[in-house]
Amino acid sequence: MNMKKLLSYLAVFFISLAAFTFHTPESGAINTRSDDNQIQTEENTYFPERPDISEETGGRSSGSKVFIIEARDDAATLAEVLEENFEDVKIRKMFSTIYNGFSMEVPEQYVQELEQLDGVSRMDEVALYEPYVDESVPFIGGTSGEVNNILTRGNDELTGEGVKVAIIDTGIDYEHPDLKKSYHGGFDVVDQDDDPMETKKEEGMPTLHGTHVAGIISANGKFKGVAPGAEIYAYRALGPTGMGTTEQVIESIEKAVEDGADVINLSLGNTVNGPDWPTSMALDKAVEAGVVAVTSNGNSGPNLWTVGSPGTSSKAISVGASTPPMLIPYLIRDGDRDKEIPVQPMQKAEPWKLKRGYPFIDVGLGREEDYENVDADDKFVLAKRGVTSFTLKAKLAKEKGARGLIVYNHQPGEFAGMLEEEVALPVVSVSKEDGESLTKEIESSPNEHIRTIYRKEEDQIASFSSRGPVTYTWDVKPDLVAPGVAIGSTVPNGYMDLNGTSMSSPHVAGAVALLLQKYPDWSPEQVKAALMNTAKVLKDEDGEPIAPHIQGTGRIQLDKALAVETLVYPGQISFGKWLRTDRRLEKTVPLTIENVSDERKKYSIKPPFEVPDGIQWKVPFSVYLDPGEKETVDVEIDVFPSVFDEGMYHDRIRVESGSDVTEIPYLFFVEEPDYPRLMSFMFEHAAEPNIYHYEVYLPGGAEELGIALYDPDTFQFITYIDVEKDIHRGMFEEDLLIEDLPEGLYKALIFAKKEDQEDTIEQTLYIGE
């Protein structure tokens, strides 16, 4: 053993951000899980006095896991040292282009020891990623007949010709007639070969997501994408189930950069809202290498703090979902026609085109036993989400003669759903609140009818679109939004409409291809600024701008981005947080203004006109720039935090040059923000008997963390299987020894507390061999 070399890496450095295997809803914002009933509780309802945690519980299993390891210095040297000095460790893949490290299989008994090596900057267990799933193209200003004939580069039509776009996804059906011209190659990271074809039926669960994304970007046939002349390169990082790992995503990013990609699109993600997750850091490195990275913001809305990695990448363009022009169905009751209930049509169900009124009945959870003594023929049936899948509910409703199925949520808010297979029955989802209201109406007015009205709407934020900000750095995300509802595009053997920020991101990636064709020397920062600066600001029902952590700078307007005369970046500003006990504080952000027009311009920087007490702004009065010139100025905010109530504050700074106006959103926090104190919980049986492994992400750390078990039927408290204190931020993992519990299902409340805020995750756990 080369002890001298090994000892040079030893230190007392410890990393807790380690592992993540929880995954988000299926492609296109669709959650097909319906067995996730949750306990509805008020805070601390089920928490008895907590146990003394002075005694340690649990132990480690002897299995092996795969970690992404970032090296402090030379990654190859560190890998060599580890292989020489630790038995059974196995280097899997070396990264060097966009990540200074490697993936490695590590026996569990070495994990803590490796975390303490001086040469190891961080260790992260591989996470699981999955996809976030022709009218939208002209809607964003990308029609061939308008943009490409008016806004050209010399005599060239803008189609994205010569621009290389890498799609990191489930692969691409490059045999599709609309993609044959666009496809130029790629790599299959899953199978390690040069054939990144979508998974076919004979190879496992077939996929279609990457083909749909590719069509939005660069279809060039019957269907036309945003940039039909762009060159598509496919990197298959997500396998037969539509899932992939951190290792596969990072390898795909690295290969795309090495292959000379100009643009990378990642319509995928996980639920970790952290700025330093490996995929987010890898995207930052790709951008630093000159590649424009575009990624989905996530499909876990409408709550704030739901943006997931790699959407948390500070340098990538993170895209949320808005609605293109479409007829939106609303349900109304004959007894109260003023109340309109918004619905979300489920994919793979028959389109909801019903107009006349029908009686409706409540069928509980929509199971066979729920239809006993119930006549569903020629009626709408109302079923609660949970226990059985949406597909089974739909098939049974169809069998019973229903005219349509309405599924309401089992937890507050709306949701989007998808059937696992096509069912010839209209199916929609509604919020928990609206569903429960309808069930009460059935009890009081059993002969009540429901009918559907339709309203033409556009530029609404999709309910599933994940919101920011980003935890810890408090960065504003998304950067902008693009159409992501009912987006038609290519799929193997045909075409299909899908929902999701997965569909929003490729609209932006295609727009980037056109910008790079027109301005081939632009940096990723300039491209990002052009899109963000020219976005349409979306407004709420009261005519007020929607908050930047929901829409970014607004909805993409490609035609205006191609004609931009001024670039201002960063496109959004976060001033971080203050405590009310802080004295007067000043924070300064550099703002770059660039004149890309052909004439000299005078710029004025104007903070919000109505300045509240406690804020003063310091900005230069004016800046003069010649064509092609840029200047960085300081924007300074001077704050007396004690004047403000606790919360988040946001507004917009205007950069004006005559009628040329650019608005830069900003936000800041007073006191610790109300982000979820925990997220992304995973629990599994380890290799050894009675050993269970769990992981949970703590965005800001926790003063206390624990797992309480309850009887799933009576909700009676049983025991705590773990309680921890004073845990720092990041991914926390632990192995538990559980010997004295009967085999079976348990309801678990996982709780974390910090700064007087306590949050919980409710989940069903199985204990037993």
Burial code of 679-713, b = ≥16 C-beta within 10 A, e = fewer?
bbbbbebbeeebbbbbbbbbbbbbebbbbbbbebe
Please tell me which residue in 61, 252, 267, 502 is annotated as part of the active site.
502
Please tell me which residue in 27, 61, 182, 209 is annotated as part of the active site.
209
Cα-based angle 761, 762, 766 (whole degrees, multiple of 5): 120
Q: If residue 295 lies in a helix (H) or strand (E), which one and from where to where?
A: strand 292-296
Collapsing DSSP to helix, strand or coil, 615 comes out as strand
Collapsing DSSP to helix, strand or coil, 75 comes out as helix
**Could you check whether the bond before residue 359 is cis, i.e. omega within 30 degrees of 0?**
no
Collapsing DSSP to helix, strand or coil, 351 comes out as coil
Type of residue numbered 517? Q
Q: Using CB atoms within 10 A of its CB, is residue 110 exposed (0-12), middle (13-18) or buried (19+)?
A: middle
User: Where in 559-676 does DSSP place strands (E)?
Assistant: 566-569, 573-578, 585-595, 601-606, 615-618, 623-625, 630-639, 647-657, 660-670
Question: Does 156 participate in catalysis according to the annotation?
Answer: no
CA 369 vs CA 386, 402, 739: distances in Å: 15, 16, 37
Residue 767 CA to its chain's centroid (Å): 31
CA 442 vs CA 198, 431, 447, 567, 644: distances in Å: 47, 17, 8, 57, 47
Q: If residue 435 lies in a helix (H) or strand (E), which one and from where to where?
A: helix 432-444
* Nearest Cα residue to 206 out of 171, 246, 249: 171
Please tell me which residue in 103, 136, 169, 651 is annotated as part of the active site.
169
Tokens found for residue 490: 């290519």
Which residues are bridge partners to 757 per DSSP? 754
DSSP state of 545: B
* Spatial CB neighbours of 209, under 8 Å, sequence gap ≥ 6: 27, 28, 131, 133, 169, 170, 238, 242, 267, 498, 502
Question: Does 194 participate in catalysis according to the annotation?
Answer: no
Tokens found for residue 529: 């600024």
Residues 623 and 679: beta-carbon distance below 8 Å: no
Residues 605 and 619: beta-carbon distance below 8 Å: yes
Tokens found for residue 164: 């290389």
Which residues are bridge partners to 617 per DSSP? 637
Collapsing DSSP to helix, strand or coil, 502 comes out as helix
Distance CA 585, CA 709 (A): 45
CA 316 vs CA 243, 253, 446: distances in Å: 22, 13, 53
Distance CA 101, CA 511 (A): 33
Which residues are bridge partners to 746 per DSSP? 765
Distance CA 189, CA 243 (A): 12
Question: Does 449 participate in catalysis according to the annotation?
Answer: no
DSSP state of 632: E
CA 659 vs CA 557, 560, 603, 628, 765: distances in Å: 18, 14, 11, 19, 60
Distance CA 216, CA 511 (A): 10
Residues 228 and 159: beta-carbon distance below 8 Å: yes
Distance CA 246, CA 604 (A): 45
Cα-based angle 543, 549, 554 (whole degrees, multiple of 5): 55
Active site residues: 169, 209, 502
